[in-house]
Amino acid sequence: GAGVSQSPSNKVTEKGKDVELRCDPISGHTALYWYRQSLGQGLEFLIYFQGNSAPDKSGLPSDRFSAERTGGSVSTLTIQRTQQEDSAVYLCASTTSPRGNTGELFFGEGSRLTVL
C-alpha cells in the first residue's frame, strides 16, 4: 500500500527483553516521527528524523530507547530491557516537508506493545 506501514502491529514481551519496532514511511517522505500513546492519553513525542539524522531526540524517555533511520526510509525504534511502563501504542508518522516546512503527518496504524 501507499501508506505508512508499521510492524509488528502487536507485540507482547516479558519484562527485561529487548524489542524492535519498525516503520516504513511513505516513499519520498523526508521527515519521520515517533510518538507514544498510552491508553487514553495524548501523543507523546519521542524522536524526529530529517533524512537519516535526528535533529530532535529529546523525547526519548531513557537511554533504553534508541532509534535509527537508514537510506532516508525505514526507521527502527529499539527498546532495551523493557519495563511495564513501556506498554503503549507506538505511532510512526511521515511527511514531505514541502518547501522545507512541516506538512501533514501521515500516521501508521501503530505497534501495540505489552510488557508483562
Partner 1 sequence: GENVEQHPSTLSVQEGDSAVIKCTYSDSASNYFPWYKQELGKRPQLIIDIRSNVGEKKDQRIAVTLNKTAKHFSLHITETQPEDSAVYFCAATRGGSQGNLIFGKGTKLSVKP
Residue 55 makes contact with partner 1 by CB under 8 A: yes
37 Cβ contact partners less than 8 Å away, ≥ 6 residues apart: 43, 44, 88, 89, 90, 91, 110
Q: Which of 10, 38, 52, 58 binds partner 1 (CB under 8 A)?
A: 58
Residue 88 makes contact with partner 1 by CB under 8 A: no
Q: Which of 5, 13, 22, 43 binds partner 1 (CB under 8 A)?
A: 43
CA distance 13 to 69: 24
Closest to partner 1 by CB, 26 or 82 = 26
Residue 100 makes contact with partner 1 by CB under 8 A: yes
Contact 11, 115 (CB under 8 A): no
Tell the smallest beta-carbon distance from residue 58 to partner 1 (Å). 6
Tell the smallest beta-carbon distance from residue 112 to partner 1 (Å). 11
Which H/E stretch holds residue 88?
strand 88-95
